[in-house]
Structure 1
Amino acid sequence: MVEVRAATYDDLPRVAAIYAPYVTDTVITFELDVPVLAEWRQRYDAVVGAGLPFLVAEDEGDVVGYSYLAPWKTRPAYRQTAEDSVYLDPDARGRGTGGELLDRLLDAARAVGVREVLAVIADTGSDVSVRLHRSRGFRDAGRLEQVGFKLDRWVDTVILQRSLGG
Structure 2
Amino acid sequence: MITIRDAVESDLPLVTALYGREVELGTATFETDPPSLEEITRRFRAVRGFDLPWLIATVDGAFAGYAYATPFRPRPAYRYAVEESVYVEESARGRGVGRTLLAAIIDRSHQPGLRHLIAAISEGATGAASIGLHSALGFRKVGTYRQVGWKHGRWLDVTLMQLDLAPDSAPPAGSGWLVN
TM-score (norm 2): 0.89
How far apart, CA to CA, are the structure 2 residues paired with 1:70 and 1:2?
24
What secondary structure sits across from 1:51 in the alignment? coil
Q: Distance in 2 between matches of 1:15 and 1:148?
A: 23
Q: Which residue of 1 aligns with 2:48?
A: 48
Q: Cα RMSD between the aligned structures?
A: 1.2
TM-aligned CA deviation for residue 112 of structure 1? 5.4
* 1:24 alignment partner AA: E
Moved more, 123-132 or 40-49: 123-132
Greater C-alpha Rg? 2
Q: How far has the Cα of 1:80 moved from its partner?
A: 1.1
The amino acid that maps onto 2:154 is R
Paired residues, number = 166
Structure-2 residue corresponding to 1:59: 59
Does the 8 A contact of 1:121 with 1:159 survive in 2? yes
2:84 corresponds to: 84
Change beyond 3 A, Cα 1:113–1:3: farther
Contact conserved, 1:84 with 1:117, CA < 8 A, in 2? Answer: yes
Residue in structure 2 matched with residue 5 of structure 1 by the alignment: 5
Distance 1:113 1:100, change over 3 A: farther
SS in 1 for 2:12: helix
TM-score, normalised by the number of residues in structure 1: 0.96
Distance in 2, Cα, partners of 1:162 & 1:74? 19
For residues 4 and 111 of structure 1, the distance between their equivalents in structure 2, rounded to whole angstroms, comes to 18
Mind listing any 5+ residue stretches in structure 2 that lack a counterpart? 168-180
